[in-house]
Structure 1
Amino acid sequence: MSKVKYYYDSETLSYKKIESRKGRRIGILFLSILGSFLAGFLLLVLYLNIPQIETPKEKALKRELQNMQLQYSLLNKKMDQIQDVLANVEDRDNNIYRMYFEANPIPEEQRRAGFGGINRYRNLEGFDNSRLIIETNKRMDILTKQIVVQSKSLDEIAELAREKEELLSAVPAIQPVKNEDLSRIASGYGWRTDPFTKVRKFHYGMDFTAPRGTPIYATGNGRIERADNRSTGYGNHIRIDHGYGYTSLYAHLHKYNVRVGQRVLRGDVIGYVGSTGRSQAPHLHYEIFKDDRRINPINFYYGHLSPEEFDEVLKKAQQENQSLD
């Protein structure tokens, strides 16, 4: 039940009941609602225009956003460092490794190629930091591709190095008879006097004088191609196929201890000095073939002799004397 309200009438000196008016009550209610709305609107405007006023959730989100921006900034700096390291590797790859192994450098446009086709970053658009996120992802993708290209290049270099190692191991690169076992170098490559006819003829190898039974060494890795005495003038002789177009020949042997098809390594003992075939005295006649053409063996002792020893061998080999076969 609503309470009855009175007011004091000074003219009649009595209390009179206050009559309630419906319109007035509605007006008061309307003014109350309007006041509440205006107060709320003012508070909203005030809230939106004063950045210092933040809810705890907004503060947490703001901190998270700042941390994300910091992490992306640090990530870009790390990518700058990686890019510098990669650029250094690429430079060495093109100008040192590939040059050494006689391989063509990788074109710059292949290393720096981007990504064509559809927009790969559409799902990252529409956010406040979309540009930062998209640019970072682009850099990461391009850097990843460059690393893949460089990785494949290094795989190729490793394969070239393996082949180069095989080549260097195969090329005849040492003397077939050790210096301490030599009596002398009887004759070198070039025009010499034939010991039997005394006529000047071209001598296609080098003669190493040594006592009968002196060990003879394979001058490079390879496969025994021949080990017999069925070649005119050579007597017991061995031919080694080194691959890469190289073949070495060892003639006038006392005996050999290898068989056809056997794999030998540089420095393996393959036979012993003798004087079989067309020979005047115990010695080793040594020849090198490149692509079936005889070449001067003096150019292939870099893996065995010191510079002084090589100069001495060169002087003796250039003397135009009589050969022993």
Structure 2
Amino acid sequence: MSKVKYFYDSETLSYKKIERKKGRKLGITLLGITGCFLGGFILLLIYLNIPQIQTPQEKALKRELHNIQMQYGLLNKKMDQIQDVMANIEDRDNNIYRLYFEANPIPEEQRMAGFGGINRYKDLEGFDNSKLITETTKRMDILTKRLVVQSRSLDEITELAREKGKLLQAIPAIQPVNNQDLSRIASGYGWRNDPFTKVRKFHYGMDFTAPRGTPVYATGDGKVARADNRSTGYGNHIRIDHGYGYTSLYGHLYKYNVRRGQSVKRGDVIGYVGSTGRSEAPHLHYEIFKDDERINPINFYYGNLSADEFSQVLEKAERENQSLD
């Protein structure tokens, strides 16, 4: 209950009750409310403009945000290092590995395919750190794509290496008769005098003179396609299919050491020097076919001849003398 106040009236020599005016009371109330709002507004302005004033929850969230930003920064530094390593691997892949195995380089457009046009990161927009998150996510996606492309490329290189190894073993790459067993190289690839007609004609192989019974070696891995005497002029002869378009022929043999359909390795003894068929003396007539076309065997002796030995063989093979078949 509010207190009743009185005042002393000197004229009437009595106490009279003080009556409060209603308008004044309302004004005081409004003034109080206005003061409260004004004070609150001032405090709000002070709070918003003084960043040091933070609630514990805000401080915790700010620390967490700062930690996430720092982690993203470290992640981007690591991606910089990974990109450098990746670029080095891609460069070696294109300019060494794929070049060596005669495979087409992978263009940059293929390694980066799928990241143009459509905006893949729309869901990450609209936040305070959208740019940082979007750029980092995009870099991760690009690196992942490049790793997938490079992994497939290395799988292809591995398969090419296996095939290259098989090819190197299959190519006829040694002399069919050992140097120590040779009497001489009687004739090489090119125009020579026929021993029977004395007319110049093209000689499609090389003649290795050696005593009858001298071992003849397979010059590369392959499978015996023929071992018979049913080809005019060659007498007893062997043909080895090496794959990859290569075939080698060994003519005028004394006898065989293999049969048709048999697999042989480079250096295996497949027969022995003779003088069967159209032959003037014991020797081995040797030919190489590539895609059914005869080619010069002189280019395929790098497997067991030194540089000096090859030079001597080359000199003898180029002499225009009489062939033995």
Q: Report the TM-score when normalising by structure 2.
A: 0.83
Give percent identity, aligned residues only: 78
CA 1:258–1:20 in 2, change beyond 3 Å: closer, same or farther? farther
CA 1:173–1:19 in 2, change beyond 3 Å: closer, same or farther? same
Structure 2, gaps ≥5 residues long: none
Counterpart Cα distance in 2 of 1:311 and 1:298: 10
Report the equivalent of 2:179.
179
CA 1:199–1:121 in 2, change beyond 3 Å: closer, same or farther? closer
Matches within 5 A, 1:25-174: 40-115=40-115, 119-174=119-174
Q: Quote how far apart the aligned CAs of 1:132 are.
A: 0.9
Counterpart Cα distance in 2 of 1:6 and 1:291: 130
Q: Quote how far apart the aligned CAs of 1:29 are.
A: 8.4
1:104 match: secondary structure:
coil
Q: Quote how far apart the aligned CAs of 1:25 are.
A: 9.9
Matches within 5 A, 1:212-231: 212-231=212-231
1:173 match: secondary structure:
coil
State the Cα RMSD in Å: 3.2
1:305 match: secondary structure:
coil
CA 1:118–1:198 in 2, change beyond 3 Å: closer, same or farther? closer
Report the equivalent of 2:237.
237
Counterpart Cα distance in 1 of 2:157 and 2:235: 44
Q: Quote how far apart the aligned CAs of 1:36 are.
A: 6.1
Counterpart Cα distance in 2 of 1:118 and 1:67: 31
1:95 match: secondary structure:
helix
Counterpart Cα distance in 1 of 2:165 and 2:90: 23
Do structure 1's residue 286 and structure 2's residue 286 form an aligned pair? yes
Q: Quote how far apart the aligned CAs of 1:28 are.
A: 8.7
1:161 match: secondary structure:
helix
Q: Quote how far apart the aligned CAs of 1:5 are.
A: 10
- After superposition, give the CA deviation of every residue in 1:4-40 in whole Å (9 maximum; x if it has no partner): 9999x9x9xxxx9x99989899999888777666555
CA 1:77–1:114 in 2, change beyond 3 Å: closer, same or farther? farther
Q: Quote how far apart the aligned CAs of 1:241 are.
A: 1.3
Do structure 1's residue 249 and structure 2's residue 249 form an aligned pair? yes
Deviates more, 1:242-251 or 1:158-167: 158-167
Counterpart Cα distance in 2 of 1:295 and 1:122: 64
Residue type matched to 2:189 in 1?
Answer: Y
Q: Report the TM-score when normalising by structure 1.
A: 0.83
Deviates more, 1:195-204 or 1:53-62: 195-204
Structure 1, gaps ≥5 residues long: none
Matches within 5 A, 1:199-214: 199-214=199-214
CA 1:119–1:205 in 2, change beyond 3 Å: closer, same or farther? closer
